Amino acid sequence: MPELSDGSWTLIGVVIGILAVATLVGAIVLAVKVWRTRKMLDAMGAGGKFAFWGSIIYTVFPVDLLPDPVYLDDMGVLAAALIYMTRLYHKHKAERPLPEFERR
Question: Which pLDDT tens digit goes with each residue over 27-49?
Answer: 889 889 888 888 888 778 888 88
What's the structural domain count of the chain? 1
- The arithmetic mean of pLDDT across residues 13-28, rounded, is 86
Q: Is residue 13 part of a domain?
A: no
Higher pLDDT, 1 or 80: 80
Domain range for residue 91?
Answer: 26-102
The 3-class secondary structure across the chain, one letter per residue, is CCCCCHHHHHHHHHHHHHHHHHHHHHHHHHHHHHHHHHHHHHHHHHHHHHHHHHHHHHHHCCCCCCCCCCCHHHHHHHHHHHHHHHHHHHHHHHHCCCCHHHCC
Model pTM above 0.75 = no
Q: Is residue 15 part of a domain?
A: no
Write down the pLDDT at residue 11: 87
Write down the pLDDT at residue 79: 92
Nearest CA to 90 out of 40, 29, 33 is that of 40
Q: Whole-number mean pLDDT of the chain?
A: 81
